[in-house]
Amino acid sequence: MSEKLRVGILGGTGMVGQRFISLLENHPWFEVTTIAASPRSAGQRYEDAVEGRWKMDTPIPKAVKNIIVKNVNEVEEVAKEVDFVFSAVDMSKDEIKAIEEAYAKTETPVVSNNSAHRWTPDVPMVVPEINPQHMEVIEFQKKRLGTTRGFVAVKPNCSIQSYAPVLTAWKEFEPYEVVVTTYQAISGAGKTFKDWPEMEGNIIPFISGEEEKSEKEPLRIWGKIENGVIVPADDVKITSQCIRVPVLNGHTAAVFVKFRKAPTKQQLIDAINNFSGVPQELKLPSAPKQFIRYMEEDNRPQVALDVDYENGMGISVGRIREDSIYDWKFVGLSHNTVRGAAGGAVLCAELLKAQGYITAK
């Protein structure tokens, strides 16, 4: 019998769900045993349920083709087969909140890609290299839910991954005012050019809810646990504009920063290149060896050349230069559906396993 932990994917037929299934093929610790989606897909073989809408570059993993898709809403049915679940369902925010807590209450940990619980005060929102200690709030959440092993943990929005880790690497220089414009890929909306032909040669200056997430989520990640909840940091101001651009995968951010302690360019580059965290220390299976790299060439990072850096789990930074109004400016790039979605959640689950929060039932 396999000693891997049994994983269910809620929303496994969708774009993020497909990315989870692809990333977990041959994972050393986790094995996809269960897939759940809407009643439209329930009862079908996975391969049939995604026919004509498989969006990954690699084929459907053999091991999951014949899994019979379950209904996400039949919580007990799914929960009894798995040790934990990844959540990537698309429902209303209230429905997602309720269903994720329902799974937690069956003593099934939920690692979610959704935004519904990102501001629930006792739910950790984690980038494992930045705030692994926030998982400690889970003990308080379990008390509220009345569970012994069930909880919800989330990863933050894809848009912040191209700059929040960089600002974290520069913490010693005390960044306090940040202006960011993001140039976001269409896969962030669950789309390819086939399903969204209007995006070819086009730019759309609006992504619903994205600017608020881009400005606020980094503050929660930099926050502290106080009295059983996460209290966001309040010493950095971020303002943002989020723009949809005709790119399949890869969110770019152009960023201006003011610092309280004036760094040199070399200090900024060294801080990026030397930054690492718990995932690197513990050598977690999905951890990039080098989390953030600095690229010296003026025309890098480029989406086409750099988005897959460290299998999509690393962040590429370039063009650090002095600014005439702010102190320094730079450009960052990350893979929105790998580091920014499913890959970030898989790394969170690996951290939770290493910390003892996810175990075999």
Ligand X SMILES: NC(=O)c1ccc[n+]([C@@H]2O[C@H](COP(=O)([O-])OP(=O)(O)OC[C@H]3O[C@@H](n4cnc5c(N)ncnc54)[C@H](OP(=O)(O)O)[C@@H]3O)[C@@H](O)[C@H]2O)c1
Exactly one of 158, 242, 335, 348 is catalytic; name it.
158
CA atoms within 13 A on the CB side of 8: 31
- Minimum distance from CB of 148 to ligand X (Å)? 27
Is 251 designated active site? yes
Give the list of residues 6+ apart from residue 328 with CB closer than 8 angstroms, or none: 256, 257, 259, 263, 265, 268, 320, 321, 322
State which of residues 131, 141, 159, 187 lies at the interface with ligand X (CB under 6 A).
Answer: 187
- Minimum distance from CB of 147 to ligand X (Å)? 23
The SS3 assignment for 327 reads coil
188 binding ligand X? (CB under 6 A): yes
- Minimum distance from CB of 162 to ligand X (Å)? 13
In angstroms, rounded to a whole number, what is the distance separating the alpha carbons of residues 284 and 273? 19
- 257 has which bridge partners? 178, 328
120 binding ligand X? (CB under 6 A): no
Report which secondary-structure segment, H or E, holds 274.
helix 265-274
Q: How many residues bind ligand X (CB under 6 A)?
A: 25
Angle of helix 15-23 relative to helix 343-354, nearest 10 degrees?
A: 50
CA distances from 42 to 10, 75, 88, 213, 342 (A): 12, 13, 16, 32, 22
In angstroms, rounded to a whole number, what is the distance separating the alpha carbons of residues 291 and 211? 25
Binding mask 138-177 for ligand X (x = CB under 6 A): --------------------x-------------------
8 binding ligand X? (CB under 6 A): no
186 binding ligand X? (CB under 6 A): no
What is the chain's alpha carbon radius of gyration, rounded to the nearest angstrom?
Answer: 20
- Minimum distance from CB of 35 to ligand X (Å)? 9
- Minimum distance from CB of 253 to ligand X (Å)? 15
| Residue 16 or 221 having the CB closest to ligand X | 16
Residues 336-355 that bind ligand X (CB under 6 A): 336-337, 341
| Residue 140 or 196 having the CB closest to ligand X | 196
| Residue 142 or 155 having the CB closest to ligand X | 155
**β-strand 251-259 against 292-295: which pairing, if any?**
unpaired
Exactly one of 117, 134, 251, 335 is catalytic; name it.
251
Which residue in this structure is represented by tokens 């994720």? 100
> Which among 74-82, 85-93, 138-146, 260-268 is the span making contact with ligand X, rule CB under 6 A?
85-93
Site residues for ligand X per CB under 6 A: 11-17, 37-38, 40-41, 72, 88-91, 113-114, 158, 187-188, 190, 336-337, 341
